[in-house]
Structure formats: structure tokens, C-alpha cells
Structure 1
Amino acid sequence: MTSSSYPSLRDRRVFITGGATGIGAAIVESFAAQGAKVAFIDIAEAEGHALCDRLSPRPWFKKVDVTDIQALQTAIREASSDLGDFHVLVNNVANDDRHKLEDVTPEYYDNRIAINQRPATFTIQSVVPGMKRLGGGSIINLGSVGWQSKTGDYVCYAVAKSSTDGLTRGLARPLGKDKIRINTVTPGCVTTERQKKLWLTPEAVASINAAQCLQLEVLPQDIANMVLYLASDDSRACTAQEFRVDAGFI
């Protein structure tokens, strides 16, 4: 699959959460291919270093547990110290482990929110001062069609991801005063290695195909392509919006 070339992304500094595998890895690779200077974090240390080994120039990478906000913000400071203020932030990190309502404990709920919701607010808090110094920037939050399609068995994930558009729209006006754009990219049923191992049974694939308007696999690169567009100057007039990449699933 080929991607468009965005000259405005060359030498742009990009920070990505959850960039070691799946959609995140496709986003990291895609920005690197555009000539951007990429920094990313992930709890999957081996996979993160393996991804860095495949790319040139080598991205900045650090193992970080995003439930630790102090560690998360420290990593952003370290990366910006090495690379400079970030033009682009991609809030990708998430975990959609299934769970039943009756099994949810307060501790489990807090942990799901700490992975799927809370980090985005604090990464934005960390990068905005630098974006203001640069005279603008682009923030891209990753949503989910799961809660929109009323998928069961992950109520905590649904709560967290349904808040993504609220974060995007709630910050668009104040950030816009400093030429900082903020948008949501909402993936559909994306074929990743993790999903193939855990959820994408033949029955599930048949159900997805029946629901989609386009009879195709949505791949991580499809999501990365939309992220690239929203990070580039080509989308200079786009903010406060949700862009679904779901083959017409919703």
C-alpha cells in the first residue's frame, strides 16, 4: 500500500504514544518515511527497540507505562530536550481487553481509565507550551468505533474512548487561538496481529464484512494515512472533527 507524500512533514518533530506495535507502529513508520523526526513510547520494550532497528534515522524511544503520569511527562521532556519542541502529538495508546460489567472492580476501572483516557490529557498538557513556541501544531487523538457500534464486553474501554471526542472538541477553541489543531481519528475494525490472535475469528470477520460498506480489510496503514494528513499542512483548516476510517462500518 502506497502513501501520499507530505513535504510539510519533513523534519517535523512528532511524539507518539503506544508506538511499538499495531496501529502505533504503522504510524511511527509512516512518519519516519515522510522524513519526520519521531519519538515514541510504549510499555513493550523489545518491540519498540526492534521497530527502531528497522528505521533510519532511528527514532527516539523509551519504555514508559502511561499509567504513571510523572514518567509519561518526564519522557516527553526528555524527548523534547533531545529533538526540540514537538509539532505533532499522536495519542494512540490504548488497550481494549474484554471484561464483563459484573466483574469490574473500582481498581480495574481506574486502571482502564489510566490507560485509555487519562494519558491523552497529560500529553497534551506537556506538548502545548512547545507548540505555542513553534507558532502552531497538530494533535491527533485516536478514538474507537467500538462504543459507537454498541460492542459489549468492554464497558470501561467504551467509557474511556467515548470521551475522546469530548477532549478534542473541548480543547479545539482555546488551542485554536495559538494555531494548534486537534482532531480525532476513529479506526474501524483494524486487522492487527493482536486482533488476529484474540478476536478475529472467521465468524467475527464475516460479521465485520457484512456490516462494512466496503468489502475490504481495514489495515493499520489506513489509519496511519489519515493521521499523516491531519498532521500535515494540507489539513490546515481541520480542527474539532472526528475522521472515521472504518470502511463504512458505522
Structure 2
Amino acid sequence: MNDKVYTRPIGVLESIQVPVESQSKPRKRGGSPKTYRSILYFLISLPITIVYFVFMVTGLALSIGLTPIFIGIPLFFAVAKGLDYIVKFEQELVRSLLDIPRSTEEHRSDRQMEVAGFLQRIKLGFHGADFARNIMLIMGRFVSSIVFFSLTVAMVATALSLITLPVLHQIFLQTMDLNILENSVFALFNIQWTLPQQYISYLVVGLVVAVIASWAIRLLMDVQRRMLLVPYEEVQQY
């Protein structure tokens, strides 16, 4: 058995450099899971915001109309509380989609609301400025859901149609003897390209449109975050 003790030369530890992890911001990538979640969010947001808008208009109209028989006042506070829950739900949904942590002030206010009773919750939860803000946010959410839904469907449908156009052309050509590329852009400008070259061009354009659509959807999601007054102080990968 070798009993020799080997010593490390002085200065070796100082010369060894441990690589330090880069603290730079991660590069944004298209087609991330958040992009897919944003697409799903914009697609289902339209029917949900219609429900929000109908609830707000119907509740406020009933509360104003039933005020003379004293039912409208508690109904008004209930509708105001419901609007507050709707706005908080939308804000939490955006936070979960963008992985934004909640601030400590919001946790503290939620604890105060949990400890308080029913009447105290109504008193603590109703503020005239917040009520007006919630109405404006829901109305803006209703309008933005229509616009963002239309843009999302248009961009996704355009990208998918261009990418799948070669396959669809072959399917229609083989099954129904229908040439969907007969009056294409190449025929319009009299560009003499072969069919495989046209397929490749459509595929490349479709991929470019998909990348642009991914960037645009992330931009729309950031606009939605700003419209819902969700702070985004920390640097997040998106």
C-alpha cells in the first residue's frame, strides 16, 4: 500500500477558476409554451368577456331599477364585489400565464379581507375609484378580446394555411382532381416555377409568418397585461 502523501503545490487553488454562470438575460425564443398559452387565452377570452359584460350591464341595470324597493342597494354592492372578483381573476390569470409573482401588498390586503366579516368585506372591498376602474377595465377587456381574438385567429390561420398548403394541394388534386394552385400568385405574375419550388416557397413563407405571429401574440399579451394594470417589475423570460 502506498503511504505517500501527495501535497498540492501552493497557488494551484488560486489558479483554478470556476466558471461563473452567466447572469445575462435569457434570449427570447419564438414558439415558447407561453406563446401557446397566450394563443389559447385569446381564443377563449372572447366568450368569457361576453359573460363579464352581460353580468356587468345586467347587474347595474337591475340594481338601479330596483333601488326604490331597497333591493337595488345590496344588489349594487354585490355586483360591485363581483366586478372586483372578475378583475382580480383576470389579473391572476395574466400573472400565471407570464409567471409574474404577486406583490406583498396584495397578499396583505387579501389577509385583511379574509379576517373581516361579510359586512366588513363589503365596506373594505368597495371604493368608488376602484369601482369605476373595474368598469373601465371590463369594458376595455371586452373590446380588446374582440380585437385580439380576430388578430390571433387571422395570424394563426394564415401561418397554418401556408404551411399545410402543399399537403392540401396534393389531397385535393388526388381525391377531387381540383388544382387549388391554378390561380396562385405564381400564375398571376407569370412566374414559371415548378410545383416543388412552389411548395418550398409556401412552406418558407408560412414559417416566417409563424415566427412573426409568435412575436405579435407575445406583444398582444404584454398589451393585455398593461391594460389590466398588472405590474411587471422583475425581468422575466418571455
| TM exceeding 0.5 | no
TM-score calculated relative to the size of structure 1: 0.23
TM-score after normalising by structure 2: 0.24
Q: Please identify the structure whose Cα radius of gyration is greater.
A: 2
Q: Which is strand-richer, 1 or 2?
A: 1
Q: Comparing both chains, which one has the higher relative contact order based on Cα–Cα distances under 8 Å and sequence gaps of 6 or more?
A: 2
More helix by share: 2
